[in-house]
Structure 1
Amino acid sequence: MNILSLNIIGINGGAKANWVKEIRLSNKIGAVALQESKLESVSRSGLVGFWGNNTFEFSYAAFVGLSGGLIWIWDPNIFKADVIIQNRCYLLVRGSMVGSGILLNLINVYAPQSVVAKRQLWDDLTTQIEKYDGKWVLAGDFNAVRSLEERKHSKFKLACAENFNKFIFENGLQEFPMQGRKFTCIRDNGKKLSKLDRFLVSSDFFNSWPQACVRVLPGRHSDHCPIILEVVDLKFGPTPFWVFSSWIGQPGFEEAVVEASESFVAFDPPDVSLTSKFAHLRSRLKVWRDEFLSKEKESENMALSELEYLENEMESRDLTEEEE
């Protein structure tokens, strides 16, 4: 499974097709969550501009009153949907990852303003999480913060935060580090800031991709910034092998380098041969390093033992100049 394809974008309010298209050009996206569509019905033709081509499937929950409207768009080559549950405050799409069969539940969340109504939403979402197995990703505007630090110049409601944190804790949900910005909602010309938009994932999802992160993108078309969950394996090749300048001149270091260099047999092509030679040198230096650190640790332990002895002696007599 290509885990890069799990990248998910969450966008709240006023999103323009060209803008989403720009994001998709630089990121391989598996799903896009749109909020506040304010549409009673959604057509494929109306979403082509958001996705960039016709290779997508979608589901939506119509808006109620003056706000709302949730949409999920996903790549059927990456994610196969089996169950769709529509609600005024959330849109659940349940399915599996193509190729791997991993069960994945995607929820687009748009929480209400009322503290009581949010608590009811948390209960409803808990029921869904308990009902289905598989990994979970909850994306959207939760209209709640978890701590005072997630608001600036706006009212902090302790009861709301406690209810939200309780919901997260009881369902074993976790958050990835957020990069780009600290806040996702900007109002009153930047005077009021808050972190309302986020991704919450189940522990098994988090453990499968611990190096994933959430990026906050510039909010040019809404008071809410788009957020993207980048589910990537940050594998940059082998762990670097550090050679410290303090090693140079230590007994056996130069001999280990010379022996490794002279014992290596070159071959074609040159670039592969050079890479192999560095690997050969690294393996020989690791042996020398381990022996050197072992001896150094032994000397350190002896010195610490002697120091402890002298500290005990200081309590009963004066130390000699040599001991000092």
Structure 2
Amino acid sequence: MALSVIKLRATNQAIAVTCVYGLNDPKARAALWDKLIEISKTTSAWIVMGDFNVVRNLCERAGPNPPVTQDILAFNACLAQCYLDDMHNMGFEFTWSNKQGSDTRTWARLDRVLVNPAWLAKFPASYALSLPPGLSDNSPLMVSVASDSPVKRRFSFLNAWQDHPDY
């Protein structure tokens, strides 16, 4: 995991992007949390996305085995320190399934897109879309980067309109 800077073609703006994969082991994820905290101190508008392998709260997991509260607390503490929060998300509520039988099937929201306040100020209309998982056990995420600045359009007037009886 590293910080990348990407230039948007449409607006020519540079954005900071971090793609992550959180390991299944909570102790190994602690190193990820430390790295995110370190990066958060060096960047302005920032988007972090990927498979974190942990949920943010109990209702983000459904199935026979409940999530570990300590893992949730560690994840949320990291996000609070980094000033990261979930980007507005549409699509599937759960982004991962173990695809097992009905008695042991588990669903969870492990994949997410996080942004900091500087990102939201720059791109307030941006959102994430959780797509169908297909063959994978994870749902792909698609991000729409948009600002709320209106598009300037040229006003046109056709003189012939004045001759129309309903004008």
The answer to whether the Cα contact below 8 Å between 2:89 and 2:130 also exists between their aligned partners in 1 is yes
Tell me the number of residue pairs that the alignment of Structure 1 and Structure 2 aligns: 155
Counterpart code for 1:106 = V
Q: Where does 1:1-324 land on structure 2 (aligned, <5 Å)?
A: 90-97=1-8, 102-130=13-41, 132-153=42-63, 154-187=65-98, 188-189=100-101, 191-233=105-147, 268-270=159-161
Distance 1:236 1:144 in 2: 38
Distance 2:101 2:121 in 1: 39
Q: How much is the aligned-residue C-alpha RMSD, in angstroms?
A: 2.8
Shift of 1:172: 0.8
What are the ranges of 5 or more consecutive residues in structure 2 without an aligned counterpart? 152-157
Q: Please give the secondary structure, in 2, of the residue aligned with 1:122.
A: helix
* Alignment deviations for residues 98-140 of structure 1 (CA, whole Å, 9 cap, x no partner): 686644221110011111221221011211221x233111110
Counterpart code for 2:161 = P
Specify whether residues 236 and 103 from structure 1 end up closer, same or farther in structure 2 by C-alpha distance, changes over 3 A only: closer
Q: When the two structures are superposed, what TM-score results if normalisation uses the length of structure 2?
A: 0.79
The answer to whether the Cα contact below 8 Å between 1:216 and 1:228 also exists between their aligned partners in 2 is yes
Specify whether residues 270 and 186 from structure 1 end up closer, same or farther in structure 2 by C-alpha distance, changes over 3 A only: farther
What are the ranges of 5 or more consecutive residues in structure 1 without an aligned counterpart? 1-89, 238-266, 278-324
Shift of 1:270: 2.9
Specify whether residues 148 and 134 from structure 1 end up closer, same or farther in structure 2 by C-alpha distance, changes over 3 A only: same
Q: Which moves more between the two structures, 153-162 or 187-196?
A: 187-196
Counterpart code for 1:171 = C
* Alignment deviations for residues 166-203 of structure 1 (CA, whole Å, 9 cap, x no partner): 11111111212221111000122572100000011121
Greater RCO, CA 8 A, separation 6+: 2
Specify whether residues 222 and 93 from structure 1 end up closer, same or farther in structure 2 by C-alpha distance, changes over 3 A only: same
Q: Which moves more between the two structures, 106-115 or 208-217?
A: 208-217
Distance 1:208 1:155 in 2: 37
Please identify which structure carries the higher helix content: 1
